């Protein structure tokens, strides 16, 4: 029953006996007095606690044996405001922005009855959640799908790219893609390659903290992205997120030079090997890197992909038979995440030679966060070069995998694969 999602045994009986449902606003007298909303619980939890969302946005668990009194202030229906907003009129003097939702909390709302996070489907709901947006741009919304970012697969990248391509000649000033943060830089890199030269800017936006928390970064990231799209006078694919834990600066990272470097901080995303391309500070857009770091292309979309690409993170004790299984499974490319300047152990050499003889492209990246692959410094690196492994300069390993999927999706010829992997397409290398 959704009215008691996650509750069982003693906690379920406690709520029922007091005629309290999930989503009800309550006042609880325990060690101190608490006010908030009864929240659903996760599966497989005990029956000794209830969960209360405080006005601060944080959830706490209260042991029912220590609750002296619980009173209902109002039911969930009286707390629901997003659904009752009037429609948003389009302002002809403002630029137009398209928001494509793929999931995550950046463009979502919480149903306190069920605890589900659902996408904001309309401009009205978005305006209600972030009213500042209506003063910056006209936001039109479209939901492509609603997935946690770990469930976003290459097929989703294709759908996003095909959808975005349809708007290459539209009157939009830019396109926002609402996306979960964990795999956001994989999606941004695929769009960067497949839609290189797209005439208007694209910004992927996420949030590290859910929109019901006082420390949420959702609204500020979204506002910053919209300002960036309407005022930056650039193109390309970017990720727009908090620069750090403060609310003063939103950073816009080039989509092929960024990765998520922290699990939970609001400033989790960082540009590798350079500064963020743009900063939004005090409502102004600041260009933060030199022009030479931006790739310039004519728009010629190539929306294809081949998932038969492996990322091999070498470590002491890595079993070469695992690499042989990749070869036997028909993979077209292998990206090594090697140690230091680009090395793997000599126990791997016979299988690497086999891969080379089969015409499988092999690229070398580094496990180090920053710096370049240089395989001519040590004998082991030179041996690997001789066995056919190609150094990929300072390309980020995850980005190299996505690029290899894109390249092998567009050609099967080894020489063309090698040429395109080493060719600057979307600022994936830096000088």
Tally of CB atoms within 10 A around 283? 10
Cβ neighbours of residue 82 under 8 Å, at least 6 residues apart?
109, 120, 125, 128, 129
Which of 109, 260, 332, 403 is flagged as catalytic? 260
Cβ neighbours of residue 84 under 8 Å, at least 6 residues apart?
none
182 assigned to active site: yes
Q: State how beta strands 49-54 and 59-63 pair.
A: antiparallel
Which of 47, 111, 182, 383 is flagged as catalytic? 182
Which of 5, 24, 53, 105 is flagged as catalytic? 105
Residues 306, 405 contacting (CB under 8 angstroms): yes
Neighbour-count burial of 179, counting CB atoms closer than 10 A to its CB (0-12 exposed, 13-18 middle, 19+ buried): buried
Q: State how beta strands 249-254 and 236-242 pair.
A: antiparallel
Closest CA to 41 of 24, 25, 59, 56: 59
Tally of CB atoms within 10 A around 130? 21
Tokens found for residue 270? 């960082």
234 assigned to active site: no
105 assigned to active site: yes
Cβ neighbours of residue 118 under 8 Å, at least 6 residues apart?
108, 109, 110, 111, 146
Q: For 294, which DSSP code?
A: S
Closest CA to 175 of 203, 142, 217: 203
Tally of CB atoms within 10 A around 89? 8
370 assigned to active site: no
Residues 365, 402 contacting (CB under 8 angstroms): no
Alpha-carbon distance of 46 to 165, in angstroms, equals: 49
Q: Hey, which bits of 264-392 come out as E strands?
A: 269-271, 278-281, 284-287, 309-313, 333-338, 361-366, 389-391
Residues 370, 273 contacting (CB under 8 angstroms): yes
Which of 5, 102, 181, 271 is flagged as catalytic? 181
Helices (H), 295-391: 320-328, 349-357, 379-386
Element (H or E) spanning 419, and its range?
Answer: helix 414-422
Catalytic residues: 105, 181-182, 260
């Amino acid at each position: 029953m959704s009215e008691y999602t996650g509750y069982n045994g003693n906690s379920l009986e406690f709520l029922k006996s007091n005629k309290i449902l999930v989503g009800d606003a309550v006042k609880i007298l325990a060690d101190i007095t608490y006010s908030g909303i009864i929240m659903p619980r996760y599966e497989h939890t005990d029956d000794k606690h209830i969960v209360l969302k405080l006005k601060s946005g944080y959830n706490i668990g209260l042991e029912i044996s220590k609750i002296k009194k619980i009173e209902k202030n109002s039911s969930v229906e009286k707390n629901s405001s997003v659904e009752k907003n009037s429609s948003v009129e389009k302002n002809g003097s403002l630029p137009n922005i398209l928001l494509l939702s793929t999931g995550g909390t950046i463009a979502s709302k919480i149903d306190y009855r069920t605890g589900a996070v659902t996408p904001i489907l309309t401009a009205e709901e978005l305006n209600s959640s972030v009213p500042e947006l209506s003063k910056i741009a006209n936001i039109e919304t479209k939901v492509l799908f609603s997935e946690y970012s770990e469930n976003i697969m290459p097929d989703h990248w294709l759908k996003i790219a095909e959808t975005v391509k349809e708007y290459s000649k539209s009157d939009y000033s830019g396109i926002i893609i609402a996306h979960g943060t964990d795999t956001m830089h994989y999606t941004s890199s695929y769009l960067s390659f497949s839609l290189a030269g797209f005439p208007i800017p694209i910004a992927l936006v996420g949030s590290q903290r859910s929109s019901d928390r006082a420390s949420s970064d959702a609204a500020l990231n979204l506002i910053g992205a919209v300002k960036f799209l309407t005022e930056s006078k650039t193109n390309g694919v970017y990720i727009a997120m908090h620069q750090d834990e403060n609310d003063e600066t939103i950073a816009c990272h080039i989509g092929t030079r960024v990765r998520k470097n922290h699990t939970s901080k609001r400033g989790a995303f960082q540009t590798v090997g350079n500064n963020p391309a743009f900063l939004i500070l005090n409502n102004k857009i600041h260009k933060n890197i030199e022009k030479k770091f931006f790739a310039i292309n004519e728009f010629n979309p190539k929306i294809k992909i081949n998932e038969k690409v492996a990322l091999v993170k070498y470590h002491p004790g890595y079993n070469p038979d695992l690499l042989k299984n990749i070869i036997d499974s028909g993979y077209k490319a292998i990206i090594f995440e090697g140690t230091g300047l680009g090395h793997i152990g000599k126990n791997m050499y016979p299988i690497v030679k086999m891969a080379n003889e089969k015409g499988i492209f092999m690229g070398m990246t580094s496990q180090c966060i920053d710096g370049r692959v240089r395989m001519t410094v040590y004998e082991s690196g030179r041996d690997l070069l001789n066995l056919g492994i190609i150094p990929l300069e300072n390309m980020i390993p995850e980005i190299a995998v996505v690029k290899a999927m894109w390249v092998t999706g567009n050609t099967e010829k080894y020489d063309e694969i090698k040429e395109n992997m080493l060719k600057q397409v979307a600022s994936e290398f830096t000088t």
